């Protein structure tokens, strides 16, 4: 019986071991194999170099350079306290902080010690031969022009991810694909011979060519900074674009920031205000009303209206910007003198349905299609939301909100013979092998006829020649444009005592090559014809000459246009 019992016990024991072996070697084998693989395998990442960003002429706007990143494998660190003390003087970091990093998480085989440092400093650290401390190359994003085009470009975080602007919008194109190397090593971190080895090289990101001209962009930013200082404005934006192609040559915003040290700036400085911020455009918006009325044969440039200096309508009284006797004014004179009362009468003659049609046809109330993060569609009431007074406020640019880019695109439609062209910032992408792929053609739509566009151009030329926009004259070039001065609405309704001043136009008027708009937030004085117009003139003159656009007027005529500043100051209205 004892032998039988002993045999039974032995059989049960060996049976249990057999079952356990089956479980370990067959059922749970993949799990244990994975644990063993993790213990001896090491994966070392190799970040991809981010694609560069260039202007239209191939000048660098954003590039990546190889720096060094120091990291630790806590499992291989033998004396965290001693190693931290040796690293501290080189990195300028407290030894206690470094010690915590070197000790790390028991489950982690990778801890950052220092990111993106100078290669010479990394070599000094490597020469210390500290156990478990290594260095590897890591790209860092640099912006060689500092703040130039910063609100367009955006910036990249420490981990190489685009966080705003173009860097964020085209992250999938610019980032590329990281590589890695997987190898097997012993407990000391030394590679094991004759073991599996896998290497996947990084794939560099594609580069972008933008439509902007770095020099025009830089000049526009400087002029806006000067304007803010001169007129004590809160902020400023400008857009310069080609009307026939939609290419944006410059899109400047002030305040801006230096993306190399974006952490030193407020988040509000990161905004591309020309795209994200909206404002009531005021008189610069009158082109929509008048162009629609001419297109539908409601009026012609010579049509006349009896225009008092104020007009009661519904529960409001609308005023012209300056007092005057009741007079008969043509549509041309209404535009040249920027009469609110006259424009409201044109809008009433056009009617609400057709006015709403042209508002949307010119692109207001919807995004332009620029494909830029945070672009605002503006604010346009649906037709069924109009109040009794909307038919009077909309023609003069009140009760409606637009972006600077939308206004630039609307003026570009007139400059382009009545055809609206989708604005664009990216002209091409380039692969690592140098192959170039151009961006698709922009969307277009006809807004008004060529006849209407020509008549509007003639009237807008008169605004600059003898109307409210005389300070926008550019020597040697005929300019068509319009001033704007609008009160800023306040929370809860109504208007306060701050204003937005603007000037939008194009040149040469007969064959437009550029459209420029300047918007100043609460300048002093408030009038667009006095503050925004001179900035428009400076930026447009530089852009025309930078692009090699030949003057369209002889030197004598240019001299006559550019009289003394004092003689040219228009009446204080928009």
Query: Is 197 within a domain?
Result: yes
Rounded to whole angstroms, the Cα distance separating 184 from 498 reads 69
Identify whether residues 229 and 186 lie together within a single domain: no
pLDDT tens-digit profile, the chain (574 residues): 888 888 888 888 887 787 777 776 776 677 666 555 555 566 666 667 788 999 999 999 999 887 888 888 777 777 778 878 888 888 888 888 887 777 777 566 677 878 878 888 888 888 888 787 888 777 788 999 999 999 999 999 877 788 999 999 999 898 877 776 665 655 555 555 555 556 677 777 899 999 999 999 999 999 999 999 999 999 999 999 999 999 999 999 999 999 999 989 998 999 999 999 999 999 999 999 999 999 999 999 999 999 999 999 988 999 998 888 999 999 999 999 999 999 999 999 999 999 999 999 999 999 999 989 999 999 999 999 999 999 999 999 999 999 999 999 999 999 999 999 999 999 999 887 778 889 889 999 999 999 999 999 999 999 999 999 999 999 999 999 999 999 998 877 778 889 999 999 999 999 999 999 999 999 999 999 999 999 999 999 999 999 999 998 653 454 455 544 444 455 555 6
pLDDT at 205: 85
Q: What is the CATH number of the domain that holds 55?
A: 3.90.1310.10
The alpha-carbon radius of gyration of the chain (Å, integer) is 33
The phi-psi region of residue 111 (left if phi > 0; otherwise alpha if psi is between -120 and 50; otherwise beta) is beta
C-beta of residue 522 within 8 angstroms of C-beta of residue 301:
no
Identify whether residues 203 and 221 lie together within a single domain: no
Distance of CA 86 to the CA centre of its chain: 45
Those residues whose C-beta lies under 8 Å from the C-beta of residue 232, and which sit 6 or more positions away, are 523, 524
Query: Is 488 within a domain?
Result: yes
Q: Is 283 a catalytic residue?
A: yes
Of residues 274, 234, 282, the one with CA closest to residue 253: 274
Q: How far is CA 503 from CA 350, 468, 486, 525, 528, in A?
A: 25, 10, 12, 14, 6
166 φ, ψ (degrees, to nearest 5): -60, -35
Query: Is 11 within a domain?
Result: no
Query: Is 531 within a domain?
Result: yes
Last residue in a domain, options 210, 243, 259: 210
* Tally of domains in the chain: 2
Q: What is the CATH number of the domain that holds 387?
A: 3.40.710.10
Rounded to whole angstroms, the Cα distance separating 30 from 27 reads 8
Query: Is 386 within a domain?
Result: yes
Helix (H/G/I), strand (E/B), else coil: 518: strand
Last residue in a domain, options 188, 210, 232: 210
Identify whether residues 277 and 332 lie together within a single domain: yes
509 CB-side CA count, 13 A: 26
Identify whether residues 316 and 169 lie together within a single domain: no
Identify whether residues 244 and 359 lie together within a single domain: yes
Q: How far is CA 244 from CA 63, 409, 418, in A?
A: 31, 11, 10
Identify whether residues 184 and 326 lie together within a single domain: no
Query: Is 165 within a domain?
Result: yes
Strand partners, 140: 65
pLDDT at 443: 94
Identify whether residues 363 and 389 lie together within a single domain: yes
Query: Is 453 within a domain?
Result: yes
Identify whether residues 349 and 400 lie together within a single domain: yes
Instruction: List, as own/partner pairs, every contact residues 547-554 make where C-beta atoms lie below 8 angstroms and the sequence separation is at least 24, other chains included.
Output: 547/213, 547/249, 547/513, 547/514, 549/477, 549/508, 549/513, 549/514, 551/475, 551/476, 551/477, 552/476, 552/477, 552/478, 552/508, 552/510, 552/511, 553/476, 553/477, 553/478
DSSP characters over 230-299: HHT-SEEEEEEE-TTT-BEEEEEEES---GGGGGGS-GGGG--HHHH--B--GGGGHHHHHHHHHHTTS-
Strand partners, 182: 43, 198
190 CB-side CA count, 13 A: 4
C-beta of residue 263 within 8 angstroms of C-beta of residue 269:
no
Rounded to whole angstroms, the Cα distance separating 58 from 353 reads 47
C-beta of residue 430 within 8 angstroms of C-beta of residue 211:
no
What is the torsional sign of CA 213, 215, 219, 225? positive
pLDDT at 560: 54
Q: What does the angle CA 570 – CA 237 – CA 496 come to, to the nearest 5 degrees?
A: 65
C-beta of residue 153 within 8 angstroms of C-beta of residue 164:
no
Identify whether residues 149 and 265 lie together within a single domain: no
Identify whether residues 220 and 317 lie together within a single domain: yes
Per the structure, the complete domain to which residue 54 belongs is given by 44-66+138-210
Helix (H/G/I), strand (E/B), else coil: 209: strand
DSSP characters over 289-350: HHHHHHHTTS--TT-EEEE-SEEEETTEEEE-SS----EEEEHHHHHHTT-HHHHHHHHHHH
Identify the active-site residue in 52, 164, 283, 338: 283
Identify whether residues 257 and 311 lie together within a single domain: yes
Identify whether residues 447 and 534 lie together within a single domain: yes
Last residue in a domain, options 146, 179, 210: 210
Rounded to whole angstroms, the Cα distance separating 562 from 464 reads 12
C-beta of residue 289 within 8 angstroms of C-beta of residue 355:
yes
Rounded to whole angstroms, the Cα distance separating 163 from 130 reads 35
């Amino acid at each position: 019986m004892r032998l039988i019992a002993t045999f039974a016990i032995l059989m049960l024991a060996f049976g249990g071991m057999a079952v356990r072996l089956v479980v370990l070697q067959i059922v749970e084998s993949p799990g244990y194999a994975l644990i063993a693989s993790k213990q001896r395998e090491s994966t070392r990442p190799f970040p991809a170099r981010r694609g560069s960003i260039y202007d239209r002429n191939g000048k660098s706007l954003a590039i990546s350079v190889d720096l060094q990143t120091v990291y630790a494998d806590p499992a291989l660190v033998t004396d965290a306290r001693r190693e931290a003390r040796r690293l501290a003087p080189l990195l300028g970091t407290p030894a206690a902080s470094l010690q915590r990093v070197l000790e790390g998480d028991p489950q982690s085989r990778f801890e950052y010690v220092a990111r993106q440092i100078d290669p010479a400093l990394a070599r000094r650290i490597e020469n210390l031969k500290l156990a478990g401390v290594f260095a590897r190359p890591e790209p860092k994003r640099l912006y060689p022009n500092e703040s130039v085009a910063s609100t367009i470009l955006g910036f990249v975080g420490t981990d190489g991810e685009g966080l705003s602007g173009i860097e964020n919008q085209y992250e999938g194109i610019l980032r590329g694909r990281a590589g890695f190397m997987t190898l097997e090593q012993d407990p000391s971190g030394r590679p094991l011979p004759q073991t599996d080895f896998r290497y996947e090289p990084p794939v560099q990101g594609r580069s972008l060519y933008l439509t902007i001209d770095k020099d025009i962009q830089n000049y526009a930013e400087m002029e806006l900074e000067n304007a803010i200082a001169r007129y004590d404005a809160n902020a400023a934006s400008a857009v310069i674009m080609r009307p026939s192609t939609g290419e944006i040559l410059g899109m400047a915003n002030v305040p801006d920031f230096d993306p190399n040290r974006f952490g030193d700036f407020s988040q509000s400085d990161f905004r591309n205000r020309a795209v994200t911020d909206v404002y009531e455009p005021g008189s610069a918006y009158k082109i929509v009303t008048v162009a629609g009325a001419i297109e539908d044969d409601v009026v012609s440039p010579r049509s006349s209206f009896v225009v008092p200096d104020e007009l009661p309508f519904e529960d409001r009284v609308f005023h012209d910007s300056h007092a005057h006797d009741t007079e008969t004014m043509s549509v041309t004179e209404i535009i040249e003198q920027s009469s609110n009362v006259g424009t409201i009468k044109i809008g009433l003659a056009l009617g609400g349905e057709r006015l709403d049609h042209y508002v949307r046809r010119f692109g207001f109330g919807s995004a332009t299609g620029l494909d830029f993060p945070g672009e605002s569609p503006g604010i346009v009431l649906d037709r069924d939301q109009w109040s009794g007074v909307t038919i009077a406020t909309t023609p003069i640019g009140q009760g409606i909100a637009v972006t600077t880019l939308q206004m630039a695109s609307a003026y570009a439609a007139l400059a382009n013979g009545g055809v609206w062209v989708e604005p664009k910032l990216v002209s091409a992408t380039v692969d690592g092998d140098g192959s170039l792929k151009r961006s698709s053609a922009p969307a277009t739509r006809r807004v008004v006829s060529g006849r209407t566009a020509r008549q509007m151009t003639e009237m807008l030329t008169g605004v600059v020649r003898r109307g409210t926009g005389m300070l926008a004259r550019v020597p040697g070039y005929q300019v068509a444009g319009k001033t704007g001065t609008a009160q800023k609405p306040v929370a809860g309704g109504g208007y306060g005592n701050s204003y937005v001043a603007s000037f939008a136009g194009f040149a040469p008027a007969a064959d437009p090559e550029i459209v420029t708009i300047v918007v100043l937030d609460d300048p002093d004085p408030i009038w667009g014809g006095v503050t925004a117009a001179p900035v428009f003139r400076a930026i447009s003159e530089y852009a025309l000459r930078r692009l090699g656009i030949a003057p369209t007027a002889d030197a004598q005529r240019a001299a006559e246009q550019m009289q003394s500043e004092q003689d040219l100051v228009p009446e204080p209205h928009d």
